[in-house]
Amino acid sequence: MSTIAHSLRDYREPTKVQQAVFSFGLPSEEIPQDEIPSVLSISNPPSGGASEAVDQAEQEDQVYAGKLILSHSFLCFISLDRRSCKMTLPLYCIRRVERLNTSRSGVFALAIVVWHGMRVILQLNALRPQCESFCALLRDNLRGQLSQMKTLKAFVAGCYSEVLLQEAINDKTAGNSTGKDASEKQGEASTPGEKDQEDLIDALPPQPDYHAGLGARFKYPGDPRKLREKSKMKLWKDYLRVHGRNLTLVRYPQFLRLVQVGLPNRLRGEIWELTSGSMYMRFANQGVYESILKANEGKVSTSTEEIEKDLNRSLPEYAGYQTQEGIATLRRVLTAYSWKNPELGYCQAMNIVVAAILIYMSEEQCFWLLDMLCDRLVPGYYTQSMSGTILDQKVFEHLVQRSLPMIHDHFVETDIQLSVASLPWFLSLYINSMPMVFAFRIVDCFMAMGPKVLFQVGLAILKINGEELLSGTITDDGAFINMIKKYFATLGDSAHPNSSNPRHRQITNFQELLVVAFREFGVVTDDTIASERRRFRQEIVEEIELFAKRSAVRNLKTLGRFTKEQVGLIYDQMVEAIYRTRHAPSSLVERDGTAIDGHGKAPASPAVIAGGAQDYKEMRIDMPTFTYFLAEIATWARDEFTISNGFTERFERKIPENSDMSRRLFHFWDREQRGSLSLQDIVSGLDTIIFSRGEPDSAIEWFFKLHSRGKDALTKDEVLRLSESLLFMFRNENSDGHLGAVSQLITSSFGGSGSV
């Protein structure tokens, strides 16, 4: 835990542009180019049947006013209340745009036809010049997406929604609408009990052609009948037929209601990646996942070693992870992400979340969803410092204090640590705490509604169990955890078993939990969470950095002749040097002449390990960072000068360029030749220098070793370089005494022959 929380320290509030990009789940490189007030409706001519005609009549009444936003690759819509209607439409899905001839003068309306025939009607509510300008930009952006349109057909063929709707058409054509589809048989296949593992795998259904998770072969958690899979699938089939599917899905109010009821197993993975935005990332980066695996095949890093340790501890109760096929799938996803994001690499609890996602998603789908989770949905959760999780625990505790004051006071009086129970809830998205069938229902809502769901459900758990918490029997952490475990074990039981009303008896504890979470704690919004995070962020930064400092000092093999307090000061200077290097001007140049970073930041300071891989788990500094560090602790490593404007004076420091002395010192302390220095390297190096003061012979011997590179004597060229180092170190001295000493050294050295 020797890394520092630069991700939190460097955090900047998202701009309005970034907030818009995040809210629609767009890739980070997308930038809104124009926006215009508009009204949206969907027009799908019924293909036949009374029920479809009714659906069409209902659909025509669902018209929403809002704002239309155009970026380079997407056309987005959000209703005025920001809840009722939402659309993220990739431009490469559009096949035709028509200007409608309306009966009312002054009305500017467009009909957008997507690739599968759905028509989205957009009425632009602005002055005609603004409408014309918006349409011209839309036309130009559509032309820029022609190359992407060519890959669309193959991409959507792997989406289950396409298979589902095609099966519905085939069943209707064949008059076999009551038959069970093949994919449902796959998901509900039972496995023989008295076979070895190889025979068991052979007996399982084959992997379907569309993107599917391990559940398609090893069964999905839960009983399909109790989960009402058929009913849910029928509702979703009707919704997808009218409101679009996969990349073109438009979210109307019934979309969120269907999500809260619970997603069908075979459709769950697709809806997750759609609502999170990872589907757009997967489309834009087709083939990247496979190329990462291929490029890093056989390589080993600290992250891959940690992954191997946790593979067999990842949902071992699930049948898929009792086979080598499931373990290999999990290994590939975790390993690929550790290579894609080496600075984050791998963190414990990531294996639990990924193992759960892989039940419903293919490897590639899971890879991009994991990227979206770590980067956007729960940033800082799966890092060495767990900074995001710790911050959200602070936010959650404050929400408990504000919303449930009596329970909060009880925790304070009994010294119960709320985080002992709530931290695993957040870190595993409740997957490792609740039975999986219920945890996935929460994940459904989390993907569709955002991180606020984690807080709302947590508050609801405490409120429902509030009476028992305040009964006087829960007085320590152990009793609190046992109470929560018992509650989670009864989530499938009736919430009102003694009620005379049969409908009330059918309400389960889990259904009651969701009702309390979304109705009573609906006031906890995204803005609430963002505000609370801003409030506690700096406090968490200081706590994490203090803990990291103590851990780094405690883990040193030796302190030399330094005290712990002195080593702590050295650590602080390393942290400051790393921070300053990350924010150095883009004009700063490394010693070899290459720019540090095109974004004005130095690269992270990794340790190079065997095979050329990088280890980001230990705080280490590279050469540019070392020059900053050295300038803070040694006067010879910096130039100081005064700047005056006639009224005021200020002192400034500048780091000399091309310092051979600094480079020699860096490589001399880098005894393992890893290209970077650890805290231990610097402490040991400084110990030799600082505690040799007053001992001229020791200082001379050290300076000789610095320039001799392990040899017993110096050549004349090396003597000249040693002299240059001395002149560089004493360049700011007022007297000229050092010049005579250096001159005498050169004369006496060159007076002999060969080497010194």
Which of these three, 496, 531, 566, is where a domain ends? 531
Q: Are residues 466 and 498 in the same domain?
A: yes
Q: Is residue 738 assigned to a domain?
A: no
Q: Is residue 241 assigned to a domain?
A: yes
Cα–Cα distance, 662 to 664 (Å, whole number): 5
| φ and ψ of 35, to 5 deg | -145, 155
Q: What residue has token string 């679009």?
A: 244
Provide the token pair at 490: 């009864």
DSSP helix/strand/coil, 589:
strand
Domain with 266, as residue range(s), is 167-377
Which of these three, 359, 377, 395, is where a domain ends? 377
Which of these three, 120, 150, 180, is where a domain ends? 150
Pick from 46-60, 66-80, 216-230, 481-495: least confident: 46-60
Domain containing residue 270: CATH number: 1.10.8.270
65 forms beta bridges with 39
Confidence of residue 538 (pLDDT cuts 50, 70, 90): confident
Q: Are residues 409 and 516 in the same domain?
A: yes
Q: Are residues 146 and 173 in the same domain?
A: no
Q: Is residue 372 assigned to a domain?
A: yes
- What is the structure's pLDDT at 586? 44
Mean pLDDT of the chain: 83
Threshold 0.85, pTM exceeds: no
Closest among 326, 308, 323 to 363, alpha carbons compared: 326
Q: Are residues 247 and 340 in the same domain?
A: yes
Pick from 482-496, 524-538, 575-589: least confident: 575-589
Q: Are residues 67 and 181 in the same domain?
A: no
- What is the structure's pLDDT at 602? 38
Q: Are residues 113 and 175 in the same domain?
A: no
Domain containing residue 447: CATH number: 1.10.472.80
- What is the structure's pLDDT at 51? 46
User: Where are the extended beta strands (E) located within 10-130?
Assistant: 34-43, 64-70, 74-79, 86-90, 94-99, 108-114, 119-124
Q: Is residue 140 assigned to a domain?
A: yes
pLDDT at 340 over 50: yes
pLDDT at 184 over 50: no
Burial class (CB in 10 A: 0-12, 13-18, 19+), 87: buried
Q: Is residue 218 assigned to a domain?
A: yes
Number of structural domains in the chain: 3
Domain containing residue 79: CATH number: 2.30.29.30
Q: Is the dihedral of CA 361, 364, 370, 371 positive or negative?
A: negative
Give whole-number Cα distances, 667 to 573, 681, 730, in Å.
19, 11, 22
Pick from 121-130, 499-508, 651-660: least confident: 651-660
Q: Is the dihedral of CA 59, 64, 69, 70 positive or negative?
A: positive
Q: Are residues 121 and 225 in the same domain?
A: no
Q: Are residues 195 and 314 in the same domain?
A: yes
Q: Are residues 363 and 421 in the same domain?
A: no
Q: Are residues 52 and 192 in the same domain?
A: no
Q: Are residues 211 and 340 in the same domain?
A: yes
pLDDT at 458 over 50: yes
Q: Are residues 184 and 213 in the same domain?
A: yes
Mean pLDDT of 17-37: 92
Closest among 442, 213, 385, 221 to 317, alpha carbons compared: 221
pLDDT at 752 over 60: no
Q: Is residue 39 assigned to a domain?
A: yes
Q: Is residue 86 assigned to a domain?
A: yes
Q: Is residue 93 assigned to a domain?
A: yes
